[in-house]
Amino acid sequence: GYDDGTFKPNNSVTRAQFAVFFARTLDSSFKPNSRSNPASKGETFVVETTDWLYGYQKYEIELVETITDGSLAWDMIKNANMFNDEASEGKKYVLAKFRVKALDLQVEPLQVRGVLIDAVSKTGTVYSEFSFVVVPEPVLSTDLYIDGEYEGWASFMVNENDEPLLVWERGSETELWFKMN
């Protein structure tokens, strides 16, 4: 695709374009976003997809802020609800704030939920221990109509010595990887 989001199938392909295409086919580290090449905070992605249930969806997503210091994340979680449980032994909480904006939707609204994000350890293991805590406001959970925009927090319980990657809609065609630092 071109920078303006279009495809020009009748244009000639340059040697450089073909080299990039071929490299991305052979090695995922050359892909613009992958586990080996995750996005940084502040990097905005425009996602376009067509789903059998929701039809055409186009939205922006960006990781805007992270808290990887376990004690700071715990203070924020504890302040959100005094009945939240501390992280298990050898674990810590981390927080991530995402921004999502609905650009074009065939079926409204776009459902945005923190549970669409997984934390993956440095060694490649998906953290399956879901943290049942009240997350600081605003929580990443809303429905967006066209032009609606929202920022919210999601929480994850991870190993104390880990700074995991975050993955939006893991395993889907709209999968996006983000680094927390």
In tens, the pLDDT along 140-165 reads: 999 999 999 999 999 999 999 999 99
Q: Is pLDDT above 90 for 102?
A: yes
Nearest to 161 by CA among 117, 122, 118, 129: 122
pTM of the full structure: 0.83
With tokens 């303006």, the residue in question is: 4
Q: Is pLDDT above 90 for 51?
A: no
Nearest to 127 by CA among 164, 73, 74: 164
Q: Is pLDDT above 80 for 43?
A: yes
User: Is the preceding omega at residue 138 within 30 degrees of 0, hence cis?
Assistant: yes
Burial of 96 (0-12, 13-18, 19+ CB in 10 A): buried
Identify the band that residue 30 occupies on the pLDDT scale cut at 50, 70 and 90: low
Q: What is the pLDDT of residue 177?
A: 97
The CATH architecture annotation of domain 15-179 reads: Sandwich (2.60)
Alpha carbon distance 57, 50 (integer Å):
6
Q: What is the pLDDT of residue 39?
A: 96
Q: Is pLDDT above 60 for 127?
A: yes
